Structure 1
């Protein structure tokens, strides 16, 4: 008989099952569906319902199959203090790659030149002045030095950049693999040094509106901002104004302020109340940072390792502090 009953809130795809099942310990039983069985011990769900949590008295943990904790899920889980919450960090590589793509595309104004040449316009090649920013020798500040932030820092160092970072669980600056990591309280002192600001933070009550007009005003005027964390970490109006008025040189954004409420709205839904799409110094991406041709394999491999730890009596990794939000 299985010692661990793992329930998914949706059926696995054929590709997911083909990766996951051969990797699992025989002590693990799987089930799937909207209704959680009474004997479930671990629930795999991005947005569990109160009914699912209450249906399984022996539930020990919820695994959110991505990084982060949605606000409504955080509020719900506060009523179930005996249920641990864990994230999967399988998407660190593709998200870090997207951050690097956004940084380079924004710093080099790639879309402006692409758009011109598609129209047969070669004039940008002969312009004496260029808005493109040389990254070599510049300083990158990474907010959130976790699995994604570490990869971003390594990529920036490979470009010849000096890397600084902030991390929540830190009381004093410390060097980590070539990156000087600071406590979050040092943010105001670090922003004037950040010629590239790369946001890898989750959205929590503490990070909501972390960067407003005052904070953006501390950045050097030639700075590039990249956000692959969550949109509302940066004040929407302040970000638009800084980009429109040239106080920020450019931005690459994968996370937004407004999302389609249903499938019917997906074909025509503005991501912001402000016309970022009219600015040629902004690279826009529809929150696809974790998407890659191998995402399903990465997710299921990471999940199998976590579940096997639980089946063997070990503590599962990536535990979330529900009170803090990550």
Structure 2
């Protein structure tokens, strides 16, 4: 750690990020980089100690090795909350932080919007409108319904607060259970099979880890109510897509709202595009106007701590993934 580290801002929109650092840390040497390919050489040329990085062009080409194995980089600040695209890293060599909470409210609004869309049958009414058909369809309240939130980080907590405000019963799962103000019940991961059958809506908010890959598979879908709706705002791979397709084909769930997928972009030939009871969005639930600047400001605040030798916020444990 040094008081005047060299910084790289690795984002597809470096101008705004550079402006924030010019305002908050005007004495530092700061470089922008808007491609994956150019980052390794820039790190080597500048001997950068700190890199703020956003995954803006998918995972396969993401330059993880240049970040977590660099001889000079000591801190990688991820602009979003997920860190699975970094793979494993040695925390004695490099510290990784994330921007957990930067989009928690927006993700929670997405989840609430999906619940309302299904309870109000908005997709069905849209189809009838296109057909100029009067009548048919029905609305029902979400008040009194039960939502199961899998993963109670900042996003899961935000979902719970909004659901509670709508009069819903809130159940939650977290790795270390403890009472939480907006949750009626909080359980550990082992309780998933028992809880999932009680839920009208299942909201998935967990990171992608070896322990969460395929978490919602055949057994989970078999235990769901036929009237249940799955909302996935986690990471592609947490939901077993083959099991989901089988559940949809056999009417074992009411539908799904999906913002993340095992393969992104979702291939045009993928079967999920074709279901009337599935809402597909392109991994955009956390992307709102100004989120990137908010994330950079969080980084700038953490950078002030770093320069003073103070503990950083949102340090990610590579074993837990959060």
Q: TM-score, normalised by structure 2?
A: 0.85
Contact 1:201 1:229 in 2 (8 A): yes
Contact 1:92 1:147 in 2 (8 A): yes
User: 2:58 aligns to what?
Assistant: none
User: 2:223 aligns to what?
Assistant: 218
Alignment of 1:242-261 (within 5 A): 242-260=247-265
SS in 2 for 1:251: strand
Q: CA-atom RMSD, angstroms?
A: 2.4
Determine the C-alpha separation between the residues in 1 that align with 2:221 and 2:76. Answer: 37
* Structure 1 runs not aligned, ≥5 long: 261-265
User: 1:106 aligns to what?
Assistant: 118
Residue 60 of structure 1: which of 61, 69, 74 is its match?
74
Contact 2:237 2:262 in 1 (8 A): yes
Alignment of 1:1-326 (within 5 A): 3-10=4-11, 12-22=13-23, 24-26=24-26, 28-33=28-33, 34=39, 35-36=42-43, 37=45, 39-45=47-53, 46=55, 47-57=62-72, 59-71=73-85, 73-75=86-88, 77-78=89-90, 81-89=92-100, 90-124=102-136, 130=138, 132-170=139-177, 173-260=178-265, 269-270=267-268, 272=270, 275-326=271-322
Contact 1:106 1:283 in 2 (8 A): no
Determine the C-alpha separation between the residues in 2 that align with 1:104 and 1:29. Answer: 48
Contact 2:147 2:199 in 1 (8 A): yes
1:60–1:99 CA distance, 2 compared to 1 (3 A): same
Relative contact order, higher structure (CA 8 A, sep 6+): 1
| Post-superposition CA distance 1:162-216 (Å, at most 9, x none) | 111111233xx52434442222122122112111100011111110011111111
1:177–1:86 CA distance, 2 compared to 1 (3 A): same
1:277 is displaced (CA, Å) by 2.5
1:87 is displaced (CA, Å) by 0.7
SS in 2 for 1:122: coil
1:10 is displaced (CA, Å) by 4.8
Q: TM-score, normalised by structure 1?
A: 0.85
1:83 is displaced (CA, Å) by 0.4
Contact 1:28 1:311 in 2 (8 A): no
